[in-house]
Amino acid sequence: MTSDLSIALAQLNPTVGDVDGNIALIREARDRAKQDGADLVVTGELLVSGYPPEDLVLKPAFLDRVEEKVNALATETAEGGPALLIGAPWREDGKLYNAVLLLDQGKIATIRFKHLLPTYGVFDEDRVFDRGPVPGPIAFKGIKLGVMICEDMWNGDVTECLDESGAEILIVLNGSPFEVDKTDQRLNLAVARVSESGLPLVYVNLVGGQDELVFDGGSFVLGADRQLPIQLPGFAKGQVTSNWSKSDQGWVCAPGEIAETPDDNEKMLASIYQAMVLGLRDYVNKNRFPGVILGLSGGIDSGLSAAVAVDAIGADKVHCVMMPSPYTSQDSLDDAAEQAEILGIAYDTVPIIDAMKAFEGMLAPVFGDTEADTTEENIQARARGLIVMAISNKLGFMPLTTGNKSEMSVGYATLYGDMCGGYSVLKDVYKTTVFNVSHWRNENFVEDFLGPQGRAIPERVITKKPSAELKPDQFDEDSLPPYDVLDDILMSLIEGERAVRDIVAKGHDPAIVRRVWHMLDRAEYKRRQAPPGVKISSRAFGRDRRYPITNGFTNLMWEIEGE
């Protein structure tokens, strides 16, 4: 048995379905680890297929490709150099598993299967994978490695079994997507497993965007003393080789790289902004869009979306268009032009007055003498949506929508209008957070941002009263409660699943709570037709929160819980 061991933590960014490309990432990580003299390379969960592969794993041809490439990679370990501990979907005895494979000495030396299959939130693994038995340790160079896959660490039973079976170091392959405050949650669970077992733990996470999900990395080593000798950065690819030695107290990892993290006051805002940047960057690049097109209105939502887009993919790939109506203020025109200049982006102006007049004339025989209402406002939004889609069709840029979670919650958005698009970075970000994140970006810069190091959003865009500017003297708070009130009610209803009586007990007006509940419930049909967007919270619309469109419980709910 050796008394020294080097384990490389490879925090990689796979693409779902790109088996050849993902295998190439593993091969490159192995080459780097070989130069460092590592004995073993550990990657994230299901890195060969990308995570989550969803129904791709139901295609036999896809699984054939995975197995072919993994077997070919295994032969490369015969020539010396580090062994590989990788994640892949794997078939055995007619069943399909979420597996971890040890590739060593030219073959697949050992296979273990995920025991706990999550079926909550964004996870639906039990639908496509079979549950494996509680795993035993993997023998490697005379050392017993207690290998787990993601969810297996979230419950103490698997760790207990590994400990009782003689495991000496716990190793966890993870595909853990970002949520606000989840970093602390992961670390707390790891500390619990270390405390229960007395064993050190290696945690390797994926990094990168996959549709709505963003994997934020943050891989680490946690010693048996519950200290962190190694911590990789969040939201960025990284690799580090950890050096271990055995003492009378067990295996100890030598101090190594510790990534800098923002202080607690900035941590949440920094992580939200970085998640939006990474999510959009990978959505655009992995889907091979040449860039994005968005309407720049001079308001804060489009202003923040434009800043994120430039930081994600660069100013040369961001195209903005101002689409003024007779109700567009001069401040909005000036603010949009100023921001385009600050960001250095392409910027066009396409007025919609002629389209408004055309629709008014076309619909006059049908509308007759009816009074103008939200119909005419929606026509403006849909005219703008048509323009953005036309530019997208002609130039190939992906249309980026700019609505925030507060608006999406209560339906303060127009189908086939401002909801028109291929992706949204603010879909899971409440309006109050939009303000706070905008201030953060103007005062902070991260190395991998591609935009300006200073201010990215004009100050007046952040400070002026929000308005859709679809009629004279219109402000959001004419139709909605103040955003601090609205967002607190929405967070209580959505993230908290709080009873109405509890929300009223916090000091909110019962009539306002009832109105917000009805608006939230009635807007489900709109959200079903909205583009995907970056998941930020524990209850993002789409994967996390799935409510029926046809829903008769709302009135009954008020009878049960109301006054």
- DSSP letter for each residue of 185-225: HHHHHHHHHHHHH---EEEEE-EEEETTEEEEB--EEE-TT
SS3 279: helix
Secondary structure (H, E, C), 324-355: CCCCCCHHHHHHHHHHHHHHCCEEEECCCHHH
% of the chain residues with pLDDT over 70: 97
What pLDDT digit, counting tens, does each position of 521-551 carry?
999 999 999 999 999 998 898 888 888 888 7
Q: Which CA distances in Å does 522 have to 85, 409, 411, 527?
A: 48, 9, 8, 10
Residue 560: is its pLDDT beyond 60? no
Confidence of residue 15 (pLDDT cuts 50, 70, 90): very high
User: In this structure, what token pair is assigned to residue 456?
Assistant: 């990215």
**What is the predicted pLDDT for the residue at 557?**
61
**What is the predicted pLDDT for the residue at 1?**
59
SS3 175: coil
**What is the predicted pLDDT for the residue at 554?**
66
β-strand 40-42 against 398-401: which pairing, if any?
unpaired
What pLDDT digit, counting tens, does each position of 24-33 carry?
999 999 999 9
What pLDDT digit, counting tens, does each position of 275-301 carry?
999 999 999 999 999 999 999 999 999
Active-site residue list: 45, 114, 150
Same fold, 4-254 and 265-561: no
User: In this structure, what token pair is assigned to residue 394?
Assistant: 């002609």
Residue 477: is its pLDDT beyond 80? no
**What is the predicted pLDDT for the residue at 558?**
58
**What is the predicted pLDDT for the residue at 461?**
94
% of the chain residues with pLDDT over 90: 81
Confidence of residue 556 (pLDDT cuts 50, 70, 90): low
CATH class of 265-561: alpha beta
Instruction: List the single range of 134-138, 266-270, 395-399, 554-558 with lowest mean pLDDT.
Output: 554-558
Type of residue found at 552: G
**What is the predicted pLDDT for the residue at 121?**
80
User: In this structure, what token pair is assigned to residue 60?
Assistant: 């036999």
**What is the predicted pLDDT for the residue at 473?**
76
How do the residues of the chain divide into helix, strand and coil, expressed in percent and rounded to 5?
40, 20, 40
Confidence of residue 55 (pLDDT cuts 50, 70, 90): very high
What pLDDT digit, counting tens, does each position of 94-133 carry?
999 999 999 999 999 999 999 999 888 888 898 999 999 9
Confidence of residue 561 (pLDDT cuts 50, 70, 90): low
Beta strands per DSSP E along 45-119: 83-92, 95-104, 107-113
Residue 562: is its pLDDT beyond 60? no
What pLDDT digit, counting tens, does each position of 45-54 carry?
999 999 999 9
Instruction: List the single range of 65-79, 451-465, 471-485 with lowest mean pLDDT.
Output: 471-485
Beta-bridge partner residues of 207? 216
Measured distance CA(84)–CA(461) in Å, rounded: 51
**What is the predicted pLDDT for the residue at 559?**
59
What pLDDT digit, counting tens, does each position of 212-247 carry?
999 999 999 999 999 999 999 999 999 999 999 998
Mean pLDDT of 328-342: 95
Given the structure tokens 């073959």, which residue do they identify?
107
**What is the predicted pLDDT for the residue at 476?**
74
**What is the predicted pLDDT for the residue at 164?**
93
**Residues 490/520, Cβ–Cβ less than 8 Å:** yes
Mean pLDDT of 367-374: 91
User: In this structure, what token pair is assigned to residue 250?
Assistant: 């067990």
Mean pLDDT of 167-180: 95
Average per-residue pLDDT for the chain: 93
Confidence of residue 480 (pLDDT cuts 50, 70, 90): confident
CATH 3.30.565.10 fits 4-254, yes or no: no
**Residues 10/24, Cβ–Cβ less than 8 Å:** no
**What is the predicted pLDDT for the residue at 80?**
83
Domain ranges of the chain: 4-254, 265-561
Q: Which CA distances in Å does 416 have to 75, 126, 382, 383, 527?
A: 53, 35, 6, 9, 12
